[in-house]
Structure 1
């Protein structure tokens, strides 16, 4: 388990360092609208996953849940910084806080795929112990499934090599985390 965490963290760090290397890999010809959409949607999506994971520290005592939450934060915080850098380099808007997502309709029900509603977030914030653990796992599975949709779309429609590589890493790690969370729910 620690090895997966380390490899994922190292991959994200390598992407961040590559983005900061000063190379001309972010020139206007190297990205397209799909890359911009991927970054602009994945940033608030990751922010919500980090917010959900932050709650675990004060609401769960399950070491598996706490470890998973820490891993999600450790992987997704650097990815947020990386995608923010791309958008800055491309002179594109960087999404603000979660309130900026209200007009986005990517999940068919008025919100982006996998994003938790204000009511779901309120339920999660209001729970502790085994109830929190169950809600966290159920909601994070749904959340990860939404991220997978975005990652697959980026891999088929994107042009920016680093964004496609990040989408592949998101797909790989979040599929593994979904399997892990389903196992935890079943136990």
Structure 2
């Protein structure tokens, strides 16, 4: 009889211990979920970098019919090939996150340094964007005049992208978005140096 009672106490103790361990586990769950999620800075990064990249593609597409410099033509082709897939990647993130696309959330062309309305992360101005007048003037240029104007504008454009990418590294939480930000910094810093060299030559 004592053996039966003893075994009953052991079973009851095990059940109590099990209950305690199960109540502890939810407390650790939020920590793991926050580490792998995205935040407002990630959304702002994608929303602002997409139109920024699109303007760079518009500028790159002007080059073949206006430039006389094969090095500028080559660079424009590389920019087009690099940034178009990145636009699709960022749009995919926004769709997955249930965030609005940039087309509805912000104007297409903004002056450098101007804050954009309706953005989830304050302080993220779309730096380096050209105005409509800038783009029209560039489209009207030809030859050496075009090459110089295009290089000067693209340097500023790239510097703006690097600025936004650095903000994402400091404020974002999504691993994929931060990896793309670092890729943009590495690639566009190298292209800035290349363009500055072309401007000096």
- 2:149: which partner in 1? 135
- 2:113: which partner in 1? 107
Partner deviation per Cα, 1:77-112 (whole Å, 9 max, x = no partner): 00000000000000101112897346x787148772
Q: RCO higher in 1 or 2 (8 Å CA, sep ≥ 6)?
A: 1
TM-score (norm 2): 0.74
Q: Contact (CA 8 Å) 2:112, 2:129: kept in 1 or not?
A: no
Cα distance change, pair 132–97 in 1 and its aligned pair in 2 (3 A) = farther
Please say if 1:41 is aligned against 2:48: yes
Q: Contact (CA 8 Å) 2:111, 2:128: kept in 1 or not?
A: no
Please say if 1:53 is aligned against 2:60: yes
Partner deviation per Cα, 1:46-81 (whole Å, 9 max, x = no partner): 000000000001111211000000000000000000
- 1:163: which partner in 2? 177
Q: Which runs of 5+ in 2 are unaligned?
A: 1-33, 117-124
Please say if 1:183 is aligned against 2:197: yes
Runs of 4+ in 1 over 2 A off after TM superposition: 97-102, 108-112
TM-score (norm 1): 0.80
Q: Contact (CA 8 Å) 1:44, 1:98: kept in 2 or not?
A: no
Q: What's the Cα RMSD here?
A: 2.3
* Number of residue-to-residue matches in the alignment: 160
Equivalent residues in 2 for 1:112-127, closer than 5 Å = 112-127=126-141
